[in-house]
Structure 1
Amino acid sequence: MIRVGITGHSSLTPRTREMVRAALRTTLRPHVQHGLHGVTCLARGADQLFAHAVRDVGGSYEVVLPADDYRDAKVKPDDLPEFDTLVEYATTVHIMPFSTSGRAAYQAASAHILDTVDWLVAVWDGQPSDGAGGTGDTVAAARERGLPVTVVWPEGAARD
């Protein structure tokens, strides 16, 4: 089984969301024959698109929630049905030992993902992080560990 993690931007334009989901399917599909298993925090944007793409190609995934309050504090009401459905499809849901969501919880969740995967996919525009624990920081941490990183950023992609 190959375990693949995700990091990526949460704010993507609607057109970019479609392009990223298709690019993720293309990236992941060749690995299904090896028992593809994704690991995601299910944040809005890249993480949720990744979960959908893993399912689209026949893989499974688990969820790492950064804190006890993540769903109630960070998932917008309009996004709750999709979030809840994706949690339902997860093989496992792991909640990091934080009561409240914040940078420390997000960094710990990202570190947990890097500790448990063979490969990282990054939906990343290549720009530095705007704060500790952002996509760029997670990519740098993966590379420092020697973890393979595949960057997915289709031509014409844009952030909100």
Structure 2
Amino acid sequence: MTRIGVTGHVVLADGTAELVYRRLVEELRPYVGPELHGVTCLADGADQIFARAVLACGGSYEAVIPARDYRLRAVRAHNLTAFDDLLGRASAVSYMPFPRSGRDAYLAASLEMLRRCDRLFAVWDGCPSADIGDTADVVRAAQDHHLPVTVLWPTGARRH
């Protein structure tokens, strides 16, 4: 089984989600089928796009959620339906042992995601992290653990 994790930007500019989805499907093509398994924290943006791409490629994914209150405290109203749908489609869901969502919980969930995968896809524009646990921090942690990292930032992709 091929286990691929994802990290990436949450807030993407209009039209970028479609570009990222197409690129993810292209990168997942060599792994298509039931042996493909994704690992995601299901954050809005790159994580959820990745989950949809894994499903489209015939794979499954598990979700590592930062804290029990994540849905209540961190999922924005416009994203609740998508989050609930994708959470319900996960082959397994685990929660980090944090009482409240926050930067430490997000970083811990990302590090747990890295422990569960064989390689990492990073939907990343290459900019440094603005806060603890952002995409650049996760990429650096993967590299520190000698995990292969594929950076995906399609031409024309933008962040807000």
- 1:132-159: CA deviation from partner (whole Å, max 9, x where unpaired): 1110010011011110000010011100
1:76 matched to 2:70: no
Q: Provide the residue aligned with 1:54 in structure 2.
A: 54
Structure with more of its chain in helix, by fraction: 1
Q: Provide the residue aligned with 2:157 in structure 1.
A: 157
Q: Name structure 1 gaps, 5 residues minimum.
A: none
C-alpha contact (below 8 Å) 2:33/2:57 kept by paired residues? no
Work out the CA distance in 1 between the residues paired with 2:26 and 2:46.
15
The alpha carbon displacement at 1:131 in A equals 1.4
Aligned partner of residue 14 in structure 1, secondary structure: coil
| Count of aligned pairs | 160
Q: Name structure 2 gaps, 5 residues minimum.
A: none
The alpha carbon displacement at 1:33 in A equals 4.7
Q: Give 1:98's aligned amino acid.
A: F
Q: Name segments (4+ residues, structure 1) moved above 2 Å.
A: none
1:1-160 to structure 2, matched below 5 A, reads 1-33=1-33, 35-160=35-160
Q: TM-score, normalising length from structure 1?
A: 0.97
Work out the CA distance in 2 between the residues paired with 1:147 and 1:115.
9
- 1:107-143: CA deviation from partner (whole Å, max 9, x where unpaired): 1001101111000000000000001111001001101
C-alpha contact (below 8 Å) 1:2/1:34 kept by paired residues? no
The alpha carbon displacement at 1:14 in A equals 2.3
- Residues 95 and 69 (structure 1), Cα distance of their counterparts in 2 relative to 1, 3 Å cut: same
Give the aligned CA root-mean-square deviation in angstroms. 0.9
- Residues 34 and 150 (structure 1), Cα distance of their counterparts in 2 relative to 1, 3 Å cut: farther
Percentage of matched positions with identical amino acids? 54
Work out the CA distance in 1 between the residues paired with 2:78 and 2:150.
30
Q: TM-score, normalising length from structure 2?
A: 0.97
